[in-house]
Amino acid sequence: MKKLSFAVVAALMLLTVACNRVKPVFELTSEALISAPCEGGSYTITYKLVSEENNVIKAITDNKEMITSIDTQAEDCIRIQVSANPTTEIREATIIVSYGTMCFNVDVEQAAKTQEPENPEQPEQPEEPENPNDPEQPNDPEEPDTPEEPEEPEQPEEPTDYIINVNANQLVGNYYGSENLVSGLGHYWIIFSDGGIVDGVATPNSEYFRLDLLGPTPADENDIRIPDGIYTLDIENDFNNFSILKLGNTDYLYIDNAGESWATPFTYAELDVEGNSMYLMAVVEDKEYHVTFNSDYTLSYNTLSEHISTLTSDHEIDLSNCSGSVKCFGDYWSCGYSNWQIEFLCNDGLNYGTYLVLDFITDDKLNGASGFEGTFHSSGFTEEDPTKPAFGPYTFVPGFRVSEVDNYMMGSVLVEYIDGTAVEQAPIFGGEFTITANGDGTHTIVIKATDDANPTHKITLNWTGTLK
């Protein structure tokens, strides 16, 4: 996914959607229910794992007497041992398999031990024939047995593996006033999380539910809360009252162990608000999340600045502790020209140092045959649409805001981190940069650019090294 996202919450929280990374997959490929006989036995659970993280597969059970061994050492499978059932009752166990914050469950159901009779049955004695002259014998024939009503077949239980319950203990967000999107309606943006925000910063191995809401204005702008009601996903983007806007800020966000993140939009969502109690039902691909929140909260009043950059002076980029990579995306922007991207990420991850993205256009050889060397000038924006870059040969795409909520950006951008927090960020907005091949496998990148502030700040770089 080629996308860079910034979402500043309370001036501290910044979540970044990864560029050029594969979305992690961790899913069960064998049956979700194992049926074992009373004698027990060995069974194998298989799974599919696609991830760039370096986590460990973990598996635990809630019934160790029944599940006596769990082996996770083999690749793509887990071997378990079910002991013999000494009881005359059906036994059940659940095995929870996890990789980072991703997990799935496997249920094990074991048959009961067959109960032996306490005393062997004695053969029945033949009955004496009835004496028709016996006065004690009734003359009326026996009444026929009343046929039993057939039992209704049991209805199979509906599988619930796709339902995930989340007890959110954190809610942060902003209020943007009543004139930001629709006049007279309040615009809110909130994030639910289960412990994924520490000191205002998003943490690795965590998940977030982000909602862009349109509703009545708050009753008290000094203590901003979301008005009571049921908010539903606005599929058509009609911007109605009590709606969850289907924008880039409404999604399920997962951050991996390296601090990279993936945002997946909701296909359906409904939020029920009643005071400090909230209940969210959101469908994300093949999962249905039930998120509950019950706690006191208040939202921040936020107004957007006219520019994205937070620089206060000229800035020379330091890539001394960074690694760079380059990739061709073909005609990503649907403009008839080949699109390239160079990304520099600090070797310490998104904790300290620089994160830099250069998003640029070469020529009409959409397979990238012309390479990525050359001088690239800012494309600027079209006269018809000031939010759309004026794509052209050998230009770079300026960093630009694609949402009215905070600084949700695409294009060429610069971010500086300290202790996991973005302390400075700016779009590479004006100017130019040059990429030169040195003939020895290295490249030199010289940037002479500016941000979008008024007055502007210079952004410069002179780097030589290897691009992966």
Residue 281 has phi, psi (to 5 degrees) of: -115, 115
Q: Are residue 295 and residue 326 in the same domain, yes or no?
A: no
453 and 320 co-located in one domain:
yes
Write the pLDDT tens digit of every residue in 110-157.
Answer: 999 876 555 555 555 555 555 555 555 555 555 555 556 656 655 545
- φ, ψ (nearest 5 deg) of residue 106: -130, 125
CB 266 within 8 A of CB 245: no
pLDDT attached to residue 375: 96
Domain boundary among 72, 90, 110: 110
Pairing of strands 25-28, 41-50: antiparallel
Domain end residue (candidates: 267, 301, 335): 301
Domain boundary among 110, 129, 151: 110
User: Do residues 61 and 101 share a domain?
Assistant: yes
For 227, left (φ over 0), alpha (ψ -120 to 50), or beta? Answer: beta
Q: Comparing C-alpha atoms, which of 259, 364, 207 is closest to residue 19?
A: 259
Structure tokens at 139: 């003359």
CA 9/CA 406 separation, integer angstroms: 8
Tell whether 235 is covered by a domain. yes
CA distances from 1 to 161, 270, 289, 405 (A): 27, 27, 23, 21
**Number of domains into which the chain is organized:** 3
Percent of the chain, pLDDT > 90?
44
Instruction: Note whether 31 and 86 are same-domain residues.
Output: yes
Average pLDDT over residues 80-89: 92
CB 180 within 8 A of CB 162: no
Phi-psi region of 237 (alpha: psi -120 to 50; beta: other; left: phi over 0): left
**Domain shared by 91 and 176, yes or no:** no
Q: Is residue 20 part of a domain?
A: no
Domain that holds residue 212: 163-301
pLDDT band at 231 (very low <50, low <70, confident <90, very high): very high
The pair of structure tokens assigned to 300 is: 């921040």
317: left (phi over 0), alpha (psi -120 to 50) or beta: beta
Q: Are residues 175 and 57 part of one domain?
A: no
Residue 460 in this model has a pLDDT that exceeds 60: yes
Tokens 């071997």 belong to residue? 79
Query: What is the mean predicted confidence (pLDDT) over 413-418?
Result: 87
Same domain, 341 and 436: yes
Asked if residue 329 and residue 283 are part of one domain, the reply reads: no
Greater model confidence, 10 or 258 = 258
In a domain, 260, yes or no: yes
